[in-house]
């Protein structure tokens, strides 16, 4: 008999087909996030759980799935999974790094250009019939070309964003816990402290993972350190930015604007944000291209198959427990 996989949301058809080759597949039939109770009930008899960043998977959920041999997350970020709890139960956890890097970097650039050149505002202006002809002062934004881009987080996505900046002849600054020779070599980025980056950059783009130490990484103090003409871009995780402080910064014009793909209490928005004209908001679509969502699904499927076949998955988040992982039931 094939092992059982529970998939918490319907994925692209080619991914579901791949899963069916190896597993008895059960999938959430609804086009919505499952409740915690539903996950507990529906996944109880599975061997592998394939979940999304919108599912919070903690020890209690792991405990109601007695045969759980692994968790495959359909995302590169895995802050939705309690890794400590998985380690304590010797459950391998996988993610989907690499396959969404370029797509997320593209979206970051779409946001940089949208917010600085007021594309969303201009679109609304045009389609609501307010465009009465070219005017010297109409919808003036700010140049991107030749400006300074500050990248926080020198991982794959940060580096891909930096590579794109070459075409805009930008000066590049970056900050991370340590220097990254690849980023410096590829893009000529200059390493600097967080306050130095914040005070010098025209665009600050966030590419760090969410964990205990990065919650509210950008808060009122950091926003006040930024130039009044600067923009903040967040395509990483919402809780990295204190959204209440950001709202204040946008209202009081501490900074020129911001563009967000992710939100503190996603999908809920801090009241007041939608009234800010200097804010571009998109609904967590960093990896949302047909090609990339398919690649992510195939990678999540491959990770799941590898666990079942006792092969170390390509993207194992907790390799330290691999040698003592739960074994396949007899
Ligand atoms: C991820 O994978 O972590 C992104 O946020 C969604 O694709």
Mean pLDDT value across residues 200-226: 98
248 counts as catalytic: no
284 counts as catalytic: yes
For ligand 1, whether the C-beta of 77 sits within 6 Å is: yes
- Residue 268: what pLDDT? 98
Interval between CA 99 and ligand 1 midpoint (Å): 10
Mean pLDDT value across residues 163-174: 97
Whether 329 and 67 have beta carbons less than 8 Å apart is answered as yes
* pLDDT band at residue 329 using 50, 70 and 90 as cut-offs: low
For ligand 1, whether the C-beta of 53 sits within 6 Å is: yes
Interval between CA 184 and ligand 1 midpoint (Å): 25
* pLDDT band at residue 245 using 50, 70 and 90 as cut-offs: very high
Which residues are paired to 49 by β-bridges?
A: 6, 71
Per-residue pLDDT reduced to its tens digit, 134-145: 999 999 999 999
Residue 151: both structure tokens together: 């990248």
**CA–CA dist 111, 231 (Å, integer):** 10
Nearest C-alpha to atom 2 of ligand 1 is from which residue?
75
**CA–CA dist 178, 242 (Å, integer):** 24
- Residue 6: what pLDDT? 98
What are the boundaries of each domain within the chain?
Answer: 4-99+290-324, 101-281
- Atom of ligand 1 at shortest range from CA of 292: 7
Interval between CA 76 and ligand 1 midpoint (Å): 5
Q: Which of 284, 293, 295, 325 is catalytic?
A: 284
For ligand 1, whether the C-beta of 92 sits within 6 Å is: no
Whether 296 and 75 have beta carbons less than 8 Å apart is answered as yes
* pLDDT band at residue 327 using 50, 70 and 90 as cut-offs: confident
Whether 81 and 57 have beta carbons less than 8 Å apart is answered as yes
**CA–CA dist 83, 77 (Å, integer):** 12
* pLDDT band at residue 112 using 50, 70 and 90 as cut-offs: very high
Residue 248: both structure tokens together: 């204040």
* pLDDT band at residue 328 using 50, 70 and 90 as cut-offs: low
Q: Which CATH number fits the domain 4-99+290-324, given the four candidates 3.30.70.20, 3.50.50.60, 3.30.230.10, 3.40.50.720?
A: 3.40.50.720
* pLDDT band at residue 326 using 50, 70 and 90 as cut-offs: confident
- Tell me if the bond preceding 100 is cis, omega within 30° of 0: no
5: CB partners within 8 A, 6+ apart: 19, 23, 24, 25, 26, 46, 47, 48, 49, 50, 304
- Atom of ligand 1 at shortest range from CA of 287: 7
**CA–CA dist 141, 321 (Å, integer):** 51
One fold for both 4-99+290-324 and 101-281?
Answer: yes
8-state DSSP, 311 = -
* pLDDT band at residue 178 using 50, 70 and 90 as cut-offs: very high
How much helix, strand and coil, in percent to the nearest 5, is found in the chain? Answer: 40, 15, 45
Residue 330 has pLDDT above 80, yes or no: no
56: CB partners within 8 A, 6+ apart: 36, 80
Residue 284: both structure tokens together: 């967590």
**CA–CA dist 311, 4 (Å, integer):** 17
**Under CATH, which architecture does the 101-281 domain have?**
3-Layer(aba) Sandwich (3.40)
Provide, rounded to the nearest whole percent, the portion of the chain with pLDDT above 90.
98
Nearest C-alpha to atom 7 of ligand 1 is from which residue?
287
Q: Which residue in this structure is represented by tokens 């005070």?
A: 199
Provide, rounded to the nearest whole percent, the portion of the chain with pLDDT above 70.
99
Does the model's pTM come out above 0.85?
Answer: yes
For ligand 1, whether the C-beta of 273 sits within 6 Å is: no
* pLDDT band at residue 70 using 50, 70 and 90 as cut-offs: very high
Nearest C-alpha to atom 1 of ligand 1 is from which residue?
75
Whether 300 and 14 have beta carbons less than 8 Å apart is answered as no
Query: What SS3 state is found at 248?
Result: helix
**CA–CA dist 113, 222 (Å, integer):** 22
């Amino acid at each position: 008999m094939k092992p059982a996989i529970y998939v918490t949301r319907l994925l692209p058809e080619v991914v579901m087909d791949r899963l069916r080759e190896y597993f008895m597949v059960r999938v959430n039939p609804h086009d919505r996030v499952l409740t915690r109770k539903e996950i507990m009930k529906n996944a109880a008899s599975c061997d592998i759980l394939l979940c999304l960043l919108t599912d919070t998977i903690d020890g209690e959920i792991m405990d109601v799935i007695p045969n759980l041999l692994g968790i495959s997350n359909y995302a590169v970020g895995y802050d939705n999974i309690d890794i400590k709890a998985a380690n304590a139960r010797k459950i391998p956890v996988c993610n989907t790094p690499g396959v969404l890097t370029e797509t997320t970097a593209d979206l970051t650039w779409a946001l940089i250009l949208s917010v600085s050149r007021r594309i969303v505002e201009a679109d609304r202006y045009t389609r609501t019939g307010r465009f009465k002809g070219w005017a010297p002062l109409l919808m003036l934004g700010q140049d991107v070309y030749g400006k300074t881009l500050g990248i926080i987080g020198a991982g794959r996505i940060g580096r891909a964003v930096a590579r794109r900046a070459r075409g805009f002849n930008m000066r590049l600054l970056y900050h991370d816990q340590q220097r990254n020779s690849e980023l410096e070599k590829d893009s000529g980025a200059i390493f600097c402290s967080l306050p130095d980056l914040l005070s010098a950059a025209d665009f600050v783009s966030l590419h760090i993972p969410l964990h205990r130490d990065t919650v509210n990484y950008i808060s009122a103090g950091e926003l006040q350190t930024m130039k009044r003409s600067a923009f903040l871009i967040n395509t990483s995780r919402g809780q990295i930015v204190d959204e209440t402080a950001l709202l204040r910064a946008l209202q009081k014009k501490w900074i020129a604007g911001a563009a967000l793909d992710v939100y503190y209490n996603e999908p809920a928005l801090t009241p007041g944000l939608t009234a800010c004209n200097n804010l571009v908001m998109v609904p967590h679509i960093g990896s949302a291209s047909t090609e990339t969502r398919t690649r992510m699904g195939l990678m999540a499927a491959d990770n799941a198959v590898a666990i079942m076949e006792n092969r170390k998955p390509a993207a194992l988040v907790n390799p330290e427990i691999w040698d003592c992982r739960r074994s396949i039931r007899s």
